[in-house]
Amino acid sequence: MSDKKLAGKVIVISGGPKGVGKAVAEEFARQGAKIVIAGRDEEAARKTIRIIRTYGSEASFVYTDLHDISCCSAPFDLAYNKYGRVDGFFNYAGVTYFSPLDKCDEKTFDDIMDINFKACFFCCQNAIKYMRMSGGGSIVITGSPHAWSGEVDRCTYACSKGALVTLVEHIAHHYSKEQIRCNLLT
């Protein structure tokens, strides 16, 4: 029996090439998981994959532009087709811009909501589809304390993170009977 807690697990990470997503990918790999990194920065992802391989784990990269919802299925399709299952989804992808309520324009509003909420919603939809076929799994969504009020210059960001709170509660309540957990990381 392996002492690695995630041995044999397959985890998709959105926003995995850099920052917290990269650190999470590396830690999950250290624990034995196979990783699928979804993001736009292929060069950064390739560096992360090289590090992951030093832990004896496997990783793949899927170019994923979450402005295009049709891209949300690609990382999950690859994970299932290559590794035969999807056990986890860690959503780190997100954007934040200056967006006070009294000055935010529609383009900024749409970009923040499209990446932070809409893309996460459709990624979760794909995660659940494959987790059902894998006997369950775990979804972790990166939230923010902004969800409960936020800074004055981050109104849209705060709203997007508030929507994620509702999404997490919905998934956790309605999909637990299928052994699919969902948690918010703030």
| pTM given for the model | 0.96
Q: What is the mean pLDDT of the chain?
A: 96
Query: What is the chain's pLDDT, residue by residue, as a tens digit (186 residues)?
Result: 568 999 999 999 999 899 999 999 999 999 999 999 999 999 999 999 999 999 999 999 999 999 999 999 999 999 999 999 999 999 999 999 999 999 999 999 999 999 999 999 999 999 999 999 999 999 999 999 999 988 999 999 999 999 999 999 999 999 999 999 999 999
The tens digit of pLDDT for each residue in 19-69 reads: 999 999 999 999 999 999 999 999 999 999 999 999 999 999 999 999 999
Enter the tokens of residue 126: 């794909």
User: DSSP of the chain, one letter per residue?
Assistant: --S-TTTT-EEEEET-SSHHHHHHHHHHHHTT-EEEEEES-HHHHHHHHHHHHHTT--EEEEE--TTSGGGGGHHHHHHHHHHS---EEEE-------B-TTT--HHHHHHHHIIIIIHHHHHHHHHHHHHHHHT-EEEEEE--GGGGS--TTBHHHHHHHHHHHHHHHHHHHHHGGGTEEEEEE-
Relative orientation angle of helices 19-30 and 42-54, to the nearest 10 degrees? 20
Q: How many CA atoms lie within 13 A of 157 on its CB side?
A: 18
